Chain A
């Protein structure tokens, strides 16, 4: 089969949030980080779009929901160059860069001997350094970098 070189353009949305400039290979991880099962409305994900800056990029469009600052900032730990646009009536009303938050949850600790991997506990990480990313597990105190984040 011929590899998909052309992708059907992602349809524009009337209301919602567009997360753009995601590195292609991080896009599905970002998707999982957003916890999509909690969203009621359609979400469109596009991968391998051509991008001058990133080579190949991904885009996520969330219908009928403006992502909160917490949700948006989480994205920065995986895709610091991402942009987040809030759409109202097909127009961008707000466009922001993401910034890694001081405290991060919702990702697993990479240390197999961390208590959070042994029994039920919500993980929590403190931001040590934004670039290159270093976060510290609140429990085992192990330092993680971006490549250690498994989602």
Chain B
């Protein structure tokens, strides 16, 4: 399927071939930068809620390809405050840009904007729902760090109930030969629906509360932060928070070449003294956002095919 004109809304819309196409394109752009590829093109960066990290990554991606960026971060300063609908805002911006990157606090906002716009829309996060460019950069990181996406044991640790990055990556990984480990306290385990989906797709998985026990089997540890507010009982939080923490002690029990990923920002679930080990992939992961977003921008605008 061609990418030109396509909206990037949900990882659910991606076939295995689509994923591989984006990763290959990102790899090419990283190896051989193309500073004029997007010359003359404008990207509308519409952030209806702040997310500096994601916005900087998209802006850097576009500017390094020679394109221009306009937009806003924070709906309070725009006409949205005056009651303009998302539909109308999108219709208006559509006239000025070649591609729209949108972040919005409401679920489904990206799909609606895509219906309103003629130019392609890239979802940079819609509430608790999807953040497909994060998922693709996670996949890119796994592939880059391990040299492959097949045959890996991937452990997800922390808040698996509310963690949208976990749900999306888990969905994407089900295209590959993999075994998934869900490591979390019971109250924050993977929603039943996702487990049923994995069963349907015959993806083997393990649900456990014990990180120590499964750590030696993992090729990738995907950490997420556990937010105190998510716990019904603060005592429970204090009891459990350290059992989902990675430090040098735990690293002794893992495979030597295990890679630790984290969507960032972290709280204290990864000890800072791991930052300089080759196992710590999370800062490289954040940097991988640029080539992946470049690939998507170039593909949907038809500058690359």
Contacts and interface: CB of A to CB of B under 8 A. Distances in A.
10 contacts: A111-B107, A115-B106, A115-B107, A115-B108, A115-B126, A116-B108, A116-B112, A121-B112, A134-B193, A137-B108
B283 interface: no
A78 B126 CA distance: 29
Interface in B1-54: 10, 12
A114 interface: yes
B85 A138 contact: no
* CB-CB nearest 8 A-B residue pairs: A139-B108, A140-B107, A140-B108, A115-B108, A119-B85, A139-B111, A115-B109, A115-B112
A118 B111 contact: no
B86 A119 contact: yes
Contacts, number: 52
Give the interface size bracket for A toward B.
10 to 19
Given A119-B87, A120-B85, A141-B130, A113 B193 contact: no
A41 interface: no
A95 interface: no
Interface string B81-122: 000011100000000000000000111110110000000000
A contact patch SS: loop
Report the contact-size class of chain B (Cβ under 8 Å from the partner): 10 to 19
B193 A115 contact: no
B66 interface: no
B10 A114 contact: no
A91 B206 CA distance: 58
A113 B12 contact: no
Given A113-B127, A113-B128, A141 B87 contact: no
A111 B10 CA distance: 18
Given A141-B12, A143-B193, A114 B108 contact: yes
Interface string A109-139: 1010111101111000000000000100111
Contacts of A111: 107
Interface of B: 10, 12, 85-87, 105-109, 111-112, 126-130, 193
A142 interface: yes
Contacts of B109: 115
Contacts of A114: 106-108
Contacts of B106: 113-115, 118
B1 to A, nearest CB: 19
Contacts of A115: 86, 106-109, 111-112, 126
Nearest to B104: A115
A71 to B, nearest CB: 25
A77 B299 CA distance: 39
Contacts of A143: 193
Nearest to A123: B108
A109 B107 CA distance: 11
Looking at A115, A137, A141, which has the most chain B CB atoms within 10 Å of its CB?
A115
B129 A141 contact: yes
B85 A139 contact: no
Contacts of A116: 108, 112
